[in-house]
Amino acid sequence: MFQLLLLAGVVLGGYIVLTQTLFKRSRCKGTAAVAGKTVIVTGGNTGIGKATALHLARRGARVVLACRNRDKAQSAIADIEQETGSTDVVYMHLDLASLKSVRCFAETFLKTESRLDLLINNAGLVADGQTEDGFGIEFGVNHLGHFLLTRLLLERLKESGRGRVVTLASMAYRWGRVDVEALAASKHLGTGTYSWQFFQAYCNSKLCNVLFTHELAKRLNGTNVTCYCVHPGIVHTELSRNVSLWQKLFIEPVARLLFLDPEAGAQTTLHCALQEGIEPLSGRYFSCCAAQEVCARGRDDATSRRLWEVSERFCGLS
Ligand SMILES: NC(=O)c1ccc[n+]([C@@H]2O[C@H](COP(=O)([O-])OP(=O)(O)OC[C@H]3O[C@@H](n4cnc5c(N)ncnc54)[C@H](OP(=O)(O)O)[C@@H]3O)[C@@H](O)[C@H]2O)c1
Ligand SMILES: *[C@@H]1O[C@H](CO)[C@@H](O)[C@H](O)[C@H]1NC(C)=O
Ligand SMILES: *[C@@H]1O[C@H](CO)[C@@H](O)[C@H](O)[C@H]1NC(C)=O
Ligand SMILES: *[C@@H]1O[C@H](CO)[C@@H](O)[C@H](O)[C@H]1NC(C)=O
């Protein structure tokens, strides 16, 4: 009997500690008006991106869902419009695993949309493989596609006044390594068919997101455009769709018990998009709706500059 009570106490205590740390919730209190403004959300058809798009649509923004699959995007738009009453959510095709598709998206967007206020680089994946252009898929989609997209849309963000770029990173950046010279030679940051190998490549790509934001902030100094990167929390989404079956069996019960839902997972992104007065924090890493310190690797000036240069070269921009 006593042992049972002790066990129950330990389990409950553990649960409380976890929900106050790794699985802590927060709420965006930002109130910047977005009516009349235009937002792009990459990967806005599901998960955190869809919850973000829904919230911004509810507040009256024009929301462009930049997705690779028309049917999934149309069905997300139907859900969002039904739930918010908005009629200003549109689909534009974007496959971040193809630099040609990124250029095509930017061209269409710049031709058809007169302004851009918020660019939310949200799409991401954990998987093995290569992009159309031969880059490691996680580096290519999570970092490089978004790098080119941001570069091509930066002028429009500047024209619209106080534009913001919000990039979804992850606390997984802490386990990441970016060897830019090896990257320049091989076009990937780790490969391998085992889950742990592509999880390492995922962490590396998320460190790229942090370094990209660090460098972008410097390059935006003197403009009114700012940028932020985000750890959204640990969120129950489709992100684990490409991990192995036995890992899914392990993740799923924990996910149901502890993970945040996408609505809670969108709060820090929304904070970086809507909170007034955070402009002096441009370039920083946010989680739980607050700026956090990053470890030295995430703010290394030399690496972030080299990563920028190599990314430009990969994209044919230099
Ligand atoms: N979930 C978490 O616990 C967690 C933690 C830290 C960071 N994050 C980050 O949060 C972001 C959103 O993830 P999520 O959890 O919401 O995952 P998700 O439910 O799997 O959604 C990912 C989105 O990215 C899109 N995408 C994937 N590859 C793409 C490509 N080549 N071109 C265009 N879109 C592409 C997906 O489109 P399809 O539906 O067509 O595949 C989907 O819309 C990611 O950057 C992820 O790294 C998530
Ligand atoms: C922006 O430029 C100013 C003046 O040139 C400098 O003091 C400041 O540190 C710069 N900020 C960043 C984030 O680089
Ligand atoms: C930035 O915004 C301020 C205040 O609105 C304005 O005075 C300034 O000209 C803007 N700077 C640029 C580079 O657009
Ligand atoms: C990931 O899984 C999805 C659905 O299970 C599949 O369609 C897709 O091809 C996989 N992606 C990669 C890069 O392995």
Contacts of 317 (CB under 8 A, 6+ apart): 148, 151
pLDDT score at 247: 85
Catalytic residues: 202
pLDDT score at 79: 98
Whole-number percent of the chain with pLDDT over 70? 100
In this model, does residue 195 exceed pLDDT 80? no
Residue pLDDT, tens place only, 49-100: 999 999 999 999 999 999 999 999 999 999 999 999 999 999 999 999 999 9
CB atoms within 10 A of CB 159: 12
Strand partners, 227: 165
Q: How far is CA 249 from CA 176, 203, 256, 269, in A?
A: 25, 22, 12, 29
Q: Is the CB of 98 under 6 A from ligand 1?
A: no
pLDDT score at 69: 98
pLDDT score at 282: 98
In this model, does residue 192 exceed pLDDT 80? no
In this model, does residue 194 exceed pLDDT 80? no
The answer to whether 208 touches 139, Cβ cutoff 8 Å, is yes
Residue pLDDT, tens place only, 109-122: 999 999 999 999 99
Ligand nearest the Cα atom of residue 170: 1
Ligand nearest the Cα atom of residue 216: 2
d(CA 205, CA 315): 16
Task: Give all domains of the chain, ordered by start, each with its CATH number.
Answer: 32-314 (3.40.50.720)
pLDDT score at 226: 98
d(CA 271, CA 289): 6
Q: Is the pTM here over 0.85, yes or no?
A: yes
In this model, does residue 280 exceed pLDDT 80? yes
Average per-residue pLDDT in the chain?
A: 96
The answer to whether 142 touches 209, Cβ cutoff 8 Å, is yes
In this model, does residue 318 exceed pLDDT 90? no
Question: Distance, CA 242 to ligand 4 centroid (Å)?
Answer: 6
pLDDT score at 299: 97
pLDDT score at 1: 76
